[in-house]
């Protein structure tokens, strides 16, 4: 896991709390107008590969 974390631009793995926060936001009234969106929670890893 440490080797993978070192390859992520943020230099760390995401936490359960960070994933949970996005889930909670997605289910909240504040996200009521958001439809059909994929949100990547990867610390910039996918963007770094492009």
Separation CA 4–CA 11 (nearest Å): 9
Q: pTM to 2 decimals?
A: 0.70
DSSP-assigned letters across all residues of 4-15:
HHHHSTTSSPPP
Write down the pLDDT at residue 48: 62
What is the three-class DSSP state of 34? coil
- pLDDT tens by residue, 1-50: 999 899 889 999 999 999 999 999 999 999 999 998 888 899 988 876 66
């Amino acid at each position: 896991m440490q080797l993978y974390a070192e390859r992520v631009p943020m230099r760390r793995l995401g936490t359960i709390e960070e994933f949970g926060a996005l889930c909670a936001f997605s289910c909240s009234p504040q996200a009521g107008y958001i439809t059909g969106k994929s949100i990547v929670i990867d610390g910039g890893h996918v963007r770094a590969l492009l």
